[in-house]
């Protein structure tokens, strides 16, 4: 069993946040992505479609799962379950700091999700409180006009990734992550909040986001020794000794 957390990011213009139409645990929201077999490594040619409100019996018929199928190449059985309560809206603060926000957690056995595809079913709220619904991101962007704020709104450069995470830690850290982002929203130069975010993301093994947070902390406090040392450790563990040496 491996837990893969779907993370999303984008550029936002005059928007406070974006999320699925019915919230992060929208039962009707459709997730489209390809599957990589954990046994033979082959990737499906077409995307698989999953949603919370559709389940199927597992291969052994003992439990209900969101996906159960055999690999067409090696005939290995695999299942995927979606775990709610781990996602949150992607916010303007996320966009400004270049970080990703968690959307949905997938409990995967025999398969690995790859290449998430953005489609329809999104909603957004402007900085002035105007709500935009039925947003289609299949084209990679979205543009409209906020009458209340008298300004254009835009979503662009949408991107996604799947991070392998520790299930126990994910559940315990989301509240903390949200609080740090709220602190940064109040004070965008709060170096300690960026650093603490980096520590939390490191605990759930989201190392790209961790590095981004440490870098933000170092920008706000140029002599932030702990941030530089932690970045060096991450690069060392990745085998990038040149970058590691640069940070220690």
Q: pLDDT per residue over 20-75, tens digit each? A: 999 999 999 999 999 999 999 999 999 999 999 999 998 776 789 999 999 999 99
| Banded pLDDT at 168 (limits 50, 70, 90) | low
pLDDT confidence of residue 96? 86
pLDDT range class, residue 171, cuts 50, 70, 90: low
Q: Minimal CA–CA distance to 194: which of 240, 158, 226, 234?
A: 226
Q: What's the mean per-residue pLDDT of the chain?
A: 91
Other beta carbons less than 10 A from residue 28's beta carbon: 12
Go through the domains of the chain in sequence order and give each one's CATH number.
Answer: 1-165 (no CATH), 167-248 (1.25.40.10)
pTM of the model: 0.76
Query: Is the pLDDT score of 116 beyond 90?
Result: yes
* Higher pLDDT pick, 121 / 169: 121
Does residue 121 contact residue 20 with C-beta atoms inside 8 Å?
Answer: yes
Residue 155, exposed/middle/buried by CB under 10 A (0-12, 13-18, 19+)? buried
Highest mean pLDDT of the ranges 84-98, 130-144, 207-221 = 130-144
**CB contact set of 205 (below 8 Å; sequence gap of 6+):** 163, 164, 165, 166
Handedness of CA 70, 54, 90, 233 (dihedral sign): negative
């Amino acid at each position: 069993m491996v837990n893969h957390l779907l993370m999303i990011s984008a550029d936002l213009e005059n928007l406070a946040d974006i999320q699925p139409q019915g919230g992060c645990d929208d039962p009707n929201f459709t997730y489209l992505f390809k599957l990589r077999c954990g046994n033979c490594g082959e990737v499906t040619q077409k995307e698989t479609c999953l949603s919370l409100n559709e389940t199927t019996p597992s291969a052994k018929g003992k439990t209900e799962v969101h996906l159960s199928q055999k690999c067409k190449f090696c005939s290995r059985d695999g299942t995927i379950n979606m775990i709610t309560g781990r996602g949150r809206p992607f916010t303007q603060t996320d966009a400004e700091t270049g970080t990703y926000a968690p959307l949905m957690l997938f409990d995967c056995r025999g398969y690995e999700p790859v290449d998430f595809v953005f489609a329809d079913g999104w909603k957004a709220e402007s900085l002035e409180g105007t709500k935009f619904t039925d947003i289609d991101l299949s084209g990679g962007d979205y543009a409209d006009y906020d009458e209340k704020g008298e300004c254009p709104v835009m979503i662009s450069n949408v991107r996604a990734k799947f991070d392998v995470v520790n299930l126990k830690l994910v559940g315990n850290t989301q509240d903390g992550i949200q609080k740090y982002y709220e602190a940064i929203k109040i004070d965008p130069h709060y170096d300690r909040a960026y650093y603490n975010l980096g520590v939390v993301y490191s605990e759930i093994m989201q190392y790209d986001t961790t590095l981004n947070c440490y870098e933000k902390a170092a920008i706000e406090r140029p002599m932030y020794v702990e941030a530089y040392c932690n970045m060096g450790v991450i690069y060392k563990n990745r085998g990038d000794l040149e970058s590691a040496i640069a940070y220690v």
